[in-house]
A and B are shown apart, each in its own frame.
Chain A
Amino acid sequence: MIERLAITAIILIGLGGLTLGWRWYKWRLTQAIKPIEPGHGVPTLLWFTADYCLPCKARQAPIIDHLAEKLGRAILVRRIDVSESPDLARHYKVMTLPTTVVLNKAGQVTHINYGLAGEAKLEGQLV
């Protein structure tokens, strides 16, 4: 039992390390991505989606719509279909759908969210 508890602890510590490593990797990504156009003077939310992505339409879309309505002109939201803009998706290191990328007022990437991003999380990153 003690041996198995130790194995469990080692695995959990290893997973914790992987989590931290992933966060560090994402941070490095945000630093490495160069802006491809000037900032718009307000934070921008790039929302990468596709017609075949059901979670994008069912779950992410209502969150983004609500956020856009709530924050109004304080943010700019751009919906990007990865099938139509594969180069843009590649530039912003999109690996899964949905992916949301937050740009600051100067157009610099500040956050990348792989998978579904909740409203509170996005609002915290934008405002």
Chain B
Amino acid sequence: MLKKVDTTALKFNQASIIVLTLLGFLLDQPLLVLFVGLALALGTIVPQAALFKQTYLKLLKPAGLLKPNVIDDDPAPHQFAQGVGALFLLASSAVLLVTGNMALGWTLAWIVIILAGVNLFFGFCAGCFVYLQLDKAGLMPHRR
């Protein structure tokens, strides 16, 4: 279903994920990864509560630091991709904080960094691609 989607908000979301998760890796701070995962999870369940999107809408856009780029698109694949990112980051932080398995934990985080980077710099959303394939196979819930 087509709605108005601000691609600048999406790009800011991706950039925030990359910067914060990478910072978490460089500083060895799994709690930062957990924070990003929780922010994404909340934003997926309650889109209006998406932290990074609200930061863009309430701070950056009014300040003129970022300009909106609104297009007709379906927000569902992007929400799905965000949800998958949240799952990976929550899994990453759980592995890091509970089991202490650094290799597995940070690999999960890096998967999110890389896929967010591919989306941000090359315009390919892996999560959206998976969503569209699942939708094509009739596995996604019917939306009005």
Stretch among A27-35, A38-46, A51-59 lining the B interface: A51-59
Contact of B124 among A1, A11, A53, A115 (CB under 8 A): A115
Contact of A8 among B22, B72, B124 (CB under 8 A): B22
B110 adjacent to A53 (CB under 8 Å): no
Output the nearest chain A residue to B7 by Cβ-Cβ distance. Answer: A59
Majority SS of interface residues in chain A?
A: helix
Interface residues on B, range: 20 to 34
Q: Which of B1-36 contact A (CB under 8 A)?
A: 2, 22, 25-28
Chain A count of residues within 8 A CB distance of the other chain: 16
A5 adjacent to B26 (CB under 8 Å): yes
| Complex CA distance for A125 and B121, rounded to whole angstroms | 20
Q: Which of A1-50 contact B (CB under 8 A)?
A: 1, 4-5, 8, 11, 15
| Complex CA distance for A33 and B79, rounded to whole angstroms | 37
List chain B residues, Cβ under 8 A from A15. 114, 117
Closest approach, in angstroms, between the C-beta of A65 and any C-beta of chain B? 13
Output the nearest chain A residue to B114 by Cβ-Cβ distance. Answer: A15
A115 adjacent to B123 (CB under 8 Å): yes
| Complex CA distance for A15 and B113, rounded to whole angstroms | 12
A58 adjacent to B72 (CB under 8 Å): yes
A96 adjacent to B129 (CB under 8 Å): yes
List chain A residues, Cβ under 8 A from B114. 11, 15
Closest approach, in angstroms, between the C-beta of A11 and any C-beta of chain B? 7
Output the nearest chain A residue to B121 by Cβ-Cβ distance. Answer: A19
| Complex CA distance for A116 and B123, rounded to whole angstroms | 8
Contact of A58 among B27, B71, B129 (CB under 8 A): B71
B129 adjacent to A1 (CB under 8 Å): no
Q: Which of B48-73 contact A (CB under 8 A)?
A: 71-73
Output the nearest chain A residue to B5 by Cβ-Cβ distance. Answer: A58
Given contacts A11-B110, A116-B123, contact A4 B25 (CB under 8 A): yes
| Complex CA distance for A54 and B122, rounded to whole angstroms | 19
| Complex CA distance for A115 and B25, rounded to whole angstroms | 31
Beyond A4-B25, A8-B22, A11-B114, 12 additional pairs, beta carbon < 8 A:
A1-B27, A8-B25, A52-B136, A53-B132, A54-B74, A54-B132, A58-B2, A58-B71, A58-B72, A59-B71, A59-B72, A115-B124
Q: Which residues of chain A have a CB within 8 Å of any CB of chain B?
A: 1, 4-5, 8, 11, 15, 52-55, 58-59, 96, 114-116
A-B contact list, 11 entries, CB within 8 Å: A8-B25, A11-B114, A15-B114, A15-B117, A52-B132, A54-B2, A54-B73, A55-B74, A55-B132, A114-B124, A116-B123
